[in-house]
């Protein structure tokens, strides 16, 4: 008896988003490995965005800096960046991965509002096949701490996780790294309960808690999970129109003109 063909998966109109978090050293390494694995899919451009507060990913050529995340935030205060503005903020690397450099100063997060972040993510996803975002592991918000300031400080990471198609928590080696990763998984799950979330690293064989959350088998498995995620066109797209002042005022350090 002939079987009916499986329904076609909706075609993505914008990039799948993989968010990588955890301790910054293993997380930065994991983000780069995931971006490299994504290039093997050959479905289009792969972009790696540094959304950490400390800008841990070095630009490919320090002598030729690109405007990066700071410029996108400045433009997104008034609406989505156009294609020229978007591509001017992405530096090409020798691995075929576009890199969005992080904020130039650790305190620049003060000027960044959640709606701005959503606009930036939506713009980056409109011109790529896969977007990998490296974020800090600080995901607590006002509900957890009673502080609006804490939630705003963690805004880049919180908006990215809530918009993700897959979340990877990079674990440092050993039982302590595994336990810290599991805590970050729990925090991420509270922001994105329906998203595939797992740990990337070597689970310690003698650690009972290692099986609490899934452990990604490889960087490629993370990419596969993100590309297979249901398409939700509204998630992470940001507002259609933004009036000047709605998204906060950027500090002088973020102004490019």
**182 and 213 Cβ atoms separated by less than 8 Å:** yes
Per-residue confidence (pLDDT) for residue 179, from 0 to 100: 87
Widest Cα–Cα separation across the chain: 69
Residue tagged 């993989």 (tokens): 18
Per-residue confidence (pLDDT) for residue 209, from 0 to 100: 47
3-state SS, 165-194, equals CEEEEECCCCHHHHHHHHHHHHHHHHHCCC
Structure tokens at 185: 């998984």
Structure tokens at 6: 């499986």
Per-residue confidence (pLDDT) for residue 216, from 0 to 100: 83
Cα–Cα dist 210/206, whole Å: 9
Per-residue confidence (pLDDT) for residue 1, from 0 to 100: 40
Per-residue confidence (pLDDT) for residue 62, from 0 to 100: 67
Per-residue confidence (pLDDT) for residue 102, from 0 to 100: 92
Q: Which CATH number fits domain 16-235: 3.40.50.300, 3.10.270.10, 3.40.630.10, 1.20.1260.10?
A: 3.40.50.300
Residue ranges, the chain, pLDDT below 70: 1-13, 62-66, 202-213, 231-257
16-22: strand order across its sheet: 91-92, 97-100, 46-50, 130-134, 16-22, 166-170, 196-200, 215-216
């Amino acid at each position: 008896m002939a079987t009916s063909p499986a329904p076609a998966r909706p075609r993505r109109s914008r990039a799948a988003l993989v968010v990588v978090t955890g301790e910054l050293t293993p997380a930065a390494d994991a983000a780069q490995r995931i971006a490299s694995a994504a290039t093997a899919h050959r479905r289009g451009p792969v972009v790696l965005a540094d959304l950490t507060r400390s800008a841990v990913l070095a630009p490919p050529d320090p002598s030729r800096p690109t405007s990066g995340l700071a410029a996108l935030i400045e433009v997104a205060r008034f609406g989505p960046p156009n294609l020229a503005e978007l591509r001017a903020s992405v530096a090409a690397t020798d691995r075929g991965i576009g890199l969005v450099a992080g904020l130039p100063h650790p305190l620049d997060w003060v000027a960044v509002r959640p709606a701005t972040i959503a606009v930036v993510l939506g713009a980056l996803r409109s011109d790529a096949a896969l977007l990998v975002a490296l974020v800090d592991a600080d995901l607590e918000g006002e509900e957890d701490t009673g502080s609006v300031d804490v939630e705003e400080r963690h805004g880049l990471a919180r908006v990215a996780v809530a918009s993700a198609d897959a979340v990877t928590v990079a674990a440092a080696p050993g039982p302590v790294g595994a336990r810290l990763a599991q805590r970050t998984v729990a925090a991420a799950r509270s922001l994105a309960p329906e998203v595939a979330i797992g740990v990337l690293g070597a689970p310690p064989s003698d650690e009972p808690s290692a099986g609490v959350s899934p452990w990604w088998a490889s960087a490629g498995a993370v990419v596969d999970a993100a590309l297979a995620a249901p398409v939700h066109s509204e998630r992470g797209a940001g507002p259609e129109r933004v009036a000047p002042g709605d998204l906060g005022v950027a500090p002088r350090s973020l102004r490019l003109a």
